[in-house]
Structure 1
Amino acid sequence: MKLKNILVVIILALLISACAENPFTGKKTMAIVPNSQLFPTAFAQYDQFLSENKVVKGTKEADMINRVGQRIAVAAERWLDANGYQGYLNDYKWEYTLVEDKTVNAWCMPGGKIVFYTGILPIAKNEAGVAAIMGHEVAHALANHGQQRMSGGVLQQIGAVGLNVALQDNENLELFNQAYGIGSQVGFMLPFSRSHETEADEIGIYLMAIAGYNPDEAAELWKRMKANSGGQAPPEFLSTHPASDTRIANLQALSPKAKVEAQKFGVTSFRN
């Protein structure tokens, strides 16, 4: 068997054997890097981050972050249990931390370690805005997006090595590698990332509604995000995130559906 054929077989074997199911979509996703390895690494990185940054404790804002995070985690567990995924969160170690930093950002690491920067709170504006952000970030963790991005990066590297070996063209190797890097980033990794953001928006708005927060606030949050950016964003096809207008329209369409989903869990009124 030729070397390039062997490489194709190896890549296909990796894709077939290293798959996980996204409980929210039912789709098979890449899991070349297993959670058993990913979670401990994420927890260690989280601890290191906290040791190097100023954690805010005992304030109204810090208490709100913790309160919203707990409600979103409970909503996630309720949804998962109701849909046949009992025990899905057993290895998660939820923690909700506010860090003093002017950056407009928040994130959730694989396994449930969540950080909000103080810089995003004015844009969140209210508790429902925080819930929209929290739901989105938690959704990334629940849907294993970090695992998928790492797995996608592994495949990107394997593809580069495999094609370099298969081409055996030393003269044009550098040009090929540049073209492959750009092509795989724009044609594979960036659309991959944008699909994760769209998926997290959808999962997140359902979680915030089940947690009792008004899902209409998700679109309002992104209107404020857009205003804060001053419209300065790269074209959507060159970005890791969908365009703000795309997200706003999607969230506005999803909000009534999220309210209907929340009713299944006895939630009929929503807090802002």
Structure 2
Amino acid sequence: MENAMRAWQTTSWVSAVLLSLAACSSSPTGRNQLILFSDSDMNNLGSQSFEQMKQQLKIEKDPGVNRYVQCVAKHITDHVPQSKGFQQWEVVVFDSEQVNAFALPGGKIGVYTGLLDVAENEDQLATVLGHEVAHVLADHSNERLSQNQITNAGLQITNVAIGASDYAQYSDLTMAALGLGVQYGVMLPYGRTQESEADMLGLDLMAQAGFNPQQSIELWKNMAAASKGQQPPELLSTHPSHQTRIKDLTNKMKAMPSYNVPHPTCQS
């Protein structure tokens, strides 16, 4: 009993120290974050996970689809400062009916072709890509993994996967920590605060790139229609509801500066 109490006290003390050291970290919006891992560690995890996905998922071969997605993604990432330890972004289109996309540390972007049926134009696709890239810029995967580490839920990932020696054995855990489901579908990867933060940062990114931020509203209306009422109530979900997202984006646009940037042309 005494040993157990001493171990608990030690763990609590370590957690408190780590929390105090991380208190000075903040997101691009000024929100305090718990960040325990280096950009290098996170980039390695993201790159390994992405390579595994490319090996196991079907990649879209249509050149027109690839040109279109690559064009929109490039306009977004061209406005991202190179401050995360990687030189360029890699974009892959996966042939899947999933209505989703993701971005991983290390500059990796994946887009499922099912998204292109819901994001009806380049502005709406830019809404999604800006949002996903914002997750990387705001260190949301690092924050998620750090929170797991403090609660001891991420010890296997921290001690093994980051070391890369036994990555395959712990790949599912790593995928989950990066915001990816076990079957490579994005399944409630971030909390409401992180999702809302990515919405706001993504809106700025797409506007800076010349895309129409008003189309973010239409995108989420399309998302709501595509979900056919299957989204759980907001209180039971870590994501904001479609209605909350639309309201928050509308309010954000009222306060946004205007960007005199030519609108990109990605659709032929």
Say whether the fold is shared (TM-score over 0.5): yes
**Which has the larger helix fraction?**
1
- Measured in 1, the distance between the counterparts of 2:67 and 2:205 equals 20
8 A Cα contact 1:128 1:271, kept in partner: no
Q: How much has 1:135 moved relative to structure 2?
A: 0.1
- Let me know the Cα RMSD of the aligned residues: 2.5
Q: Deviations over 1:75-125 (max 9, x none)?
A: 223xxxxxxxxx514425411111100111110011220000000101000
8 A Cα contact 2:86 2:107, kept in partner: no
Aligned residues: 228
- Measured in 1, the distance between the counterparts of 2:86 and 2:33 equals 19
Asked if 1:229 is matched to 2:224, the reply is: no
Asked if 1:101 is matched to 2:96, the reply is: yes
**What is residue 186 of structure 1 aligned with on the other side?**
none
Identical residues among aligned pairs (%): 34
Q: 1:23 to 1:192 in 2, by over 3 A?
A: closer
- Measured in 2, the distance between the counterparts of 1:250 and 1:92 equals 33
Q: 1:254 to 1:92 in 2, by over 3 A?
A: farther
Further displaced range: 30-39 or 213-222: 30-39
In the superposition, the TM-score normalised over structure 1's length comes to 0.76
8 A Cα contact 1:209 1:270, kept in partner: no
Q: 1:39 to 1:19 in 2, by over 3 A?
A: farther
Further displaced range: 54-63 or 134-143: 54-63
Amino acid at match of 2:132: E
- Measured in 1, the distance between the counterparts of 2:93 and 2:235 equals 32
Rg larger in 1 or in 2? 1
The equivalences for 1:137-156 within 5 A come to: 137-156=132-151
| 4+ aligned runs moved over 4 Å, structure 1 | 269-272
**What is residue 242 of structure 1 aligned with on the other side?**
240
**What is residue 217 of structure 2 aligned with on the other side?**
219
Q: 1:149 to 1:50 in 2, by over 3 A?
A: same
Amino acid at match of 1:36: S
In the superposition, the TM-score normalised over structure 2's length comes to 0.77
2:44 to 40, 43, 55: 40
2:58 to 45, 54, 58: 54
Amino acid at match of 1:6: T
8 A Cα contact 1:19 1:32, kept in partner: no
The SS at the match of 1:76 is coil
2:113 to 105, 111, 118: 118
Gaps of 5+ in 2: 155-187
